[in-house]
Amino acid sequence: MSIPEHIFGHLEDYADGALSQDGLEEVQAWFHESEENQRLFAEWFVAQAELRDAERLADAREVFPDSRLQQSTYPSRQAHPQIGDWRWASLAAGLLLAIGIAAWFSGAERQPQAIANARQAAEETASEGAVTSVAYVGRAIGGVWKDASLREGTPLAPGTHLRLESGRAELVFGSGAQVTVRGPCELAIETDSSFGLLVGDVSVEATFGFKVTTPSGVVIDLGTAFGVSVDNEGGSEVHVFEGEVAFQPANSDRQKTKSIVLSKDQACRYSVAGVTLDQFQANEAKFAWRRRQLLGSSDVPALPVRDELVLWLAADRFVETDPQGRVECWRDLVIDANTYPDDALQPAPQYRPLLTANGLNGRPSIRFGEPGCFLLTPPLYTTDEQTAVVVCSLNATSPAFQQILNYNGPPQRQVGPLGGAITPSVFQIFLDDENRDGRFSAKGHLFAGLTEGRRETVFAEVIARDRVDKGRPLVIAFRHSLKERQMALFIDGAQEAESPSDQPIAITSRKLIGRHPIFDSEVGVFEGDIGELLIYNRALTDDEIASVSQYLGRRYDLPK
């Protein structure tokens, strides 16, 4: 049995953004007719997602027919995890919402009442413009945009034309690429993994397949850091700082020409007229502006363990609020061990948490709670070796399930209507009143999917039972090591539980702080305060976790 031709046509229309209301109603009716129809829909959905991953590699191979890309295979999620196209994921999620099964896909089995709630929350998110967003505006380092309405967190749709008049600014793409722009510069957003550079200088940190198109050629990243400069005549320079890129010059008729591969410390220059192609030594000094100013020791707390630190949020440092005192941006503390600013943002005023001056034993904190306040990091690469540490307090005993940290930010990876695996597993920390008696446990949890027609949850977790008291701050540390096949949970520096784990968790994803990514404001919201959050791309030793916990204990005056 296959999808009827007229239904298939409607699905294709939706993927192209052209589904009519009548077509939507026909899809709804067909979907709910039988479980077989639901299975067929799930297969179509998965096939569409896989097709878009394949198209990204095919695009690279077409641009560089004579390059090593012909022998490349698309990196596995574990080796080079990437998230998919934001626009496609949002379109697909929108269709699921429209036919009324978003919560079924979400894994809402923990809380049956959350099914309707999840749909409401997702619809609110979609209405805020997430459908076409493939990138967003990051930090502005003295940057002045021609469009004065652009601000940090502004979503960027395909086709958006940007002009930076002066200074520097950063753009964050859905694929995880991070682009620093120096004004004057003009560029156009294309997809979550590409943009066109019309004139000016950019520095790119990206993974395999990211593309920059200039008037005189195309650059495809093979997993690296590089700079591109376009002059007023359209001539291009490409400088490679780490890894490799492939560059294909375009002749005066925009016809494809022989491509070249540049490695670390190599560069090339090509004019728009296609007169010459020069290769020479890369000049990083030309892009010295790309270097970020790191915070000095006097600017940050005395954190004792910093190796492989990838996110450091502290409520008494660099928190930006709106006039109501609610958090627009929680700045990542950029130091020698943590060189890229993965700032946690909340552009939507109604979901901003509150900055308090003395929420944790007289120390500043970020207060989460109704109506579902949360913060989101950029797409951040985290590894199979992982340690997350948070100092927090519980302020209310409802809801019974309260999410503190979740590695499945939008666009969420979701389970199909008949169940299935989530690979890599979702790393998360939450508080849980399992017996609904007001006694909360802390949990480090890996969600791996659903089986038996979505009746059984596949997961692994470590639990510190009945260790969370309302109003008492504590330090929670969740450590996972695929290499050692083990995970453990620590409270205030002491190990409370450990368990075997063979689950891969490495992924590039947005990290969500303060609520579950699917459930609405009633379920999965953290009703409490966070003072500090640390993420390391390695499994800290017991002694290191004890040292970090002691540091946080002193900072927040926790009992010894």
Evaluate if residue 28 carries a pLDDT over 80: no
Give the H or E element holding residue 114: helix 114-127
Q: Indicate whether 71 pLDDT > 50.
A: no
Mean pLDDT of 529-549: 98
pLDDT, averaged across the chain: 81
pLDDT of residue 189: 97
CA dist., res. 353 & res. 368, Å (int): 5
Question: If pLDDT is split at 50, 70 and 90, which confidence band does 74 have?
Answer: very low
In this predicted structure, the answer to whether residue 415 has a pLDDT above a threshold of 90 is no
Assess whether pLDDT exceeds 80 at residue 192.
Answer: yes
Q: Quick check: 96 pLDDT over 70?
A: no
- pLDDT given at position 18: 63
Tell me the average pLDDT across 282-300: 72
**Mean of the pLDDT values across residues 165-191?**
94
Q: Closest Cα to residue 175, out of 130, 210, 127?
A: 210
Looking at this protein, which amino acid is placed at residue 363?
R
Q: What predicted TM-score, i.e. pTM, was given to this entire model? A: 0.74
Nearest partner of 243 among 213, 273, 219, 279, judged by Cα: 219
Burial class (CB in 10 A: 0-12, 13-18, 19+), 324: exposed
| pLDDT score, position 16 | 57
Residue predicted with more confidence, 276 or 533:
533
SS3 196: strand
pLDDT at 8 over 50: yes
Q: Whole-angstrom Cα distance, residue 412 to residue 108?
A: 13
Q: Does residue 443 carry a pLDDT above 60?
A: yes
Domains of the chain: 5-131 (no CATH), 134-290 (2.60.120.1440), 375-555 (2.60.120.200)
Which pLDDT score is estimated for 276? 57
pLDDT band at residue 158 under the 50/70/90 scheme:
very high
* 68 vs 171, more confident: 171
For residue 125, give the nearest of 367, 413, 412, 386 by alpha carbon: 412
DSSP 67-113: SGGGG--PPPTTTS-----HHHHHHHHHHHHHTT-HHHHHTGGG-TT
Question: Model confidence at 480, in pLDDT bands (50, 70, 90)?
Answer: very high
Q: What is the pLDDT of residue 511?
A: 97
The answer to which of 100-114, 136-150, 218-232, 318-332 has the lowest mean pLDDT is 100-114
Span of 105-119, 323-337, 380-394, 500-514 with lowest mean pLDDT: 105-119
Which two three-digit tokens encode residue 451?
A: 């089986």
